[in-house]
């Protein structure tokens, strides 16, 4: 007998691609995928364990899904990063969970379900973080059918002092280019128009197998049917002139740089074990803006890192003020156990973190509004996503807006449009995050 499977997937896009593979494996094995947990015989919670708030969200999701065991649900399975990092704690403190599967073994989901039904003890498959599952695995997309994430590597060797990813995802390891290209062709054949390239560190792709991200992008740009290619998670020190020149060469590659600099004070960058300097960051940004037409630069910042004084924060604030990022996310430092920074003596008070967070976000909102207003009167390519019934407008994303993390472009039109169609919109109005216009 095969059962109905329900899933809750949390965390980043890398985790989501693992969830997509698990669902496809189970479907191919005869299970039925359902969206309503009340209809599920088995519920999988694909957890995130990156920072405290993500851990708590994952625990809450497990407890919420556990309530369905009073009804139809027979098995509750924890997978993903929290399951990998805290498998013993989950086994000891969450008796509602029937099986645990780590980040290096997500392709063994059918095996762990079978074991959970047949064994008197809880199946726990973890501690294989450096294992790379077979690359030619199926996926059921959790994104809209016209956009898909394409994971090109896993793990990370950067060992930033605030980050637990190497302990959860293992050492950096690139996928074979042949496998990536095969998957990209299949996605294109299935109707995907936008590829979003992801890894813990995309810029180091190929350094362990004798190739490069620039070479991969060259080949991805040749695939018929793919119209936009967007890359996430550039590390500043690994951005090369060859990579930027490759982006400039292909119109398919969106001039969208998602580059998490984390800070802009050299003392704090050294304490974070970042392999770059403020001067190098400025130099790379200058070259990108000169080389890439209509370049969008997105970054993320951590405030309140141990040892961050008012002076260090002021240096960061002034850097953001003069650099004028197109997109920016700000996070307060989270003291993650098992990381070097968690043991630093000069932890910053939570209230100070929040004040710095608010100040930086307020600055960025003003910058975002000015940059968006400068787009009034221009024409942008937009990939259609849907219709907003409250505003009586269609909406989509420009080349400068990635899925789920950036703003929207709202537009009016008298013509029929369908999700996934790429059209041109003249911008007529702007807010801090969104644009409004008319299809032309």
Q: Is 265 helix (H, G, I), strand (E, B) or coil?
A: coil
Q: pLDDT for 154-169, tens place per residue? A: 999 999 999 989 989 9
Q: Evaluate whether the domain defined by 379-439 bears CATH number 2.40.50.140.
A: yes
Q: pLDDT for 392-439, tens place per residue? A: 999 999 999 999 899 999 999 999 999 999 999 999 999 999 999 999
Q: Is 311 exposed, middle or buried (0-12, 13-18, 19+ CB in 10 A)?
A: exposed
Taking the C-alpha atoms of residue 225 and residue 228, their distance in angstroms, rounded to an integer, is 9
Taking the C-alpha atoms of residue 340 and residue 342, their distance in angstroms, rounded to an integer, is 5
- Average pLDDT for 135-156: 92
Contacts of 132 (CB under 8 A, 6+ apart): 104, 154, 173, 175
pLDDT for 100 beyond 70: yes
Say if strands 42-47 and 75-79 run parallel, antiparallel, or are unpaired.
parallel
- Angle of CA points 119, 22, 209, to nearest 5°: 115
Q: Compute the residue count for the chain.
A: 440
Taking the C-alpha atoms of residue 52 and residue 43, their distance in angstroms, rounded to an integer, is 23
Residue 148 confidence class, pLDDT cut points 50, 70, 90 = very high
CB environment 78-99: b (16+ within 10 A), e (fewer): bbbbbbbbbbeebbeebeebbb
Q: pLDDT for 186-202, tens place per residue? A: 999 999 999 999 999 99
DSSP string computed for 347-397: PPPHHHHHHHHHHHHHHHHHHHHHHHHTTTT-EEEEEEEEEETTTTEEEEE
Q: pLDDT for 60-74, tens place per residue? A: 999 999 999 998 999
Q: What is the pLDDT of residue 52?
A: 81
Q: pLDDT for 268-323, tens place per residue? A: 999 999 999 999 999 999 999 999 989 999 999 999 999 999 999 999 999 999 99
Q: Residue 430's Cα: distance from chain center in Å? A: 26
What is the domain class of 147-373 according to CATH?
A: alpha beta
Taking the C-alpha atoms of residue 425 and residue 440, their distance in angstroms, rounded to an integer, is 6
Torsion from C-alpha of 248, 249, 252, 256, nearest 10 degrees? -10
Q: Where in the chain is the domain with CATH 2.40.50.140?
A: 379-439
* Residue 439 β-bridge partners: 425
Taking the C-alpha atoms of residue 327 and residue 324, their distance in angstroms, rounded to an integer, is 9
Q: What is the pLDDT of residue 136?
A: 73
Task: Say what the pTM is.
Answer: 0.93
Q: What is the pLDDT of residue 1?
A: 67
pLDDT for 106 beyond 90: yes
Q: Where in the chain is the domain with CATH 3.80.30.20?
A: 147-373
**CA 431, 434, 436, 437 torsion-angle sign:** positive
Percent of the chain at pLDDT > 90 equals 90
Q: Where in the chain is the domain with CATH 3.40.50.12160?
A: 4-125
What's the CATH number for 4-125? 3.40.50.12160
Average pLDDT, the chain: 95
Residue 125 confidence class, pLDDT cut points 50, 70, 90 = confident
Question: Nearest Cα to 410, choosing from 399, 391, 147?
Answer: 391
Residue 134 confidence class, pLDDT cut points 50, 70, 90 = confident
- Average pLDDT for 208-229: 97
Residue with structure tokens 């939570």? 350
Q: Is 104 exposed, middle or buried (0-12, 13-18, 19+ CB in 10 A)?
A: buried
pLDDT for 50 beyond 80: no
Residue 57: both structure tokens together:
């969200």
Torsion from C-alpha of 350, 356, 357, 358, nearest 10 degrees? 110
Contacts of 49 (CB under 8 A, 6+ apart): 11, 55, 58, 80, 81, 82, 83, 84, 85, 86, 164, 168
């Amino acid at each position: 007998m095969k059962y109905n499977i329900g899933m809750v997937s949390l965390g980043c896009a890398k985790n989501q691609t693992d969830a997509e593979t698990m669902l496809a494996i189970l479907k191919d094995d005869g299970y039925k995928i359902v969206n309503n947990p009340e209809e599920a015989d088995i519920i999988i919670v694909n957890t995130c364990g990156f920072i405290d708030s993500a851990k708590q969200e994952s625990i809450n999701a497990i407890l919420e899904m556990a309530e369905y065991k009073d009804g139809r649900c027979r098995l509750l399975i924890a997978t993903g990063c929290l399951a990998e990092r805290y498998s013993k704690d989950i086994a000891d403190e969450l008796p509602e969970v029937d099986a645990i599967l780590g980040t290096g073994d997500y392709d063994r989901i059918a095996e762990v379900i079978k074991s959970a039904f047949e064994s008197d003890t809880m199946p726990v498959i973890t501690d294989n973080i450096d294992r790379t599952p077979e690359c030619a695995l199926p996926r059921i997309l959790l994104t809209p059918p016209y956009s898909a994430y394409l994971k090109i590597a896993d793990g990370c060797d950067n060992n930033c002092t605030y980050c637990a990813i190497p302990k959860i995802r293992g050492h950096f390891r690139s996928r074979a280019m042949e496998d990536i290209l095969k998957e990209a062709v299949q996605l294109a054949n299935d109707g995907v128009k936008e590829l979003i390239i992801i890894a813990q560190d995309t810029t180091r792709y190929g350094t362990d197998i004798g190739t490069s991200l620039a070479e991969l992008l060259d080949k991805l740009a040749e695939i018929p049917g793919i119209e936009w290619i967007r890359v996430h998670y550039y590390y500043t020190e690994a951005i090369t002139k060859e990579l930027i020149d490759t982006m400039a060469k292909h119109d398919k590659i969106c001039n969208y740089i998602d580059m998490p600099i984390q800070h802009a004070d050299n003392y704090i960058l050294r304490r974070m074990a970042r392999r770059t300097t403020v001067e190098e960051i400025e130099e790379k940004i200058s070259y990108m803006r000169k080389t890439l037409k209509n370049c969008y630069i997105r970054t993320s910042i951590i405030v309140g890192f141990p040892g961050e004084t008012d002076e260090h924060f002021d240096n960061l604030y002034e850097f953001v003020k003069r650099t004028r990022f197109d997109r920016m996310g700000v996070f307060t430092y989270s003291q993650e156990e098992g990381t070097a920074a968690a043991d630093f003596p000069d932890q910053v008070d939570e209230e100070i973190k929040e004040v710095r967070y608010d100040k930086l976000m307020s600055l960025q909102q003003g910058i975002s509004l000015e940059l968006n207003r400068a787009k009034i009167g221009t024409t942008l390519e937009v990939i259609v996503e849907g219709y907003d019934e409250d505003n009586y407008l269609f909406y989509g994303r420009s080349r400068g807006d990635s899925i789920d993390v950036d703003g929207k472009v709202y537009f009016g039109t008298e013509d029929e449009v369908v999700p996934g169609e790429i059209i041109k919109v003249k911008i007529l109005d702007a807010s801090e995050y969104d644009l409004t216009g008319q299809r032309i």
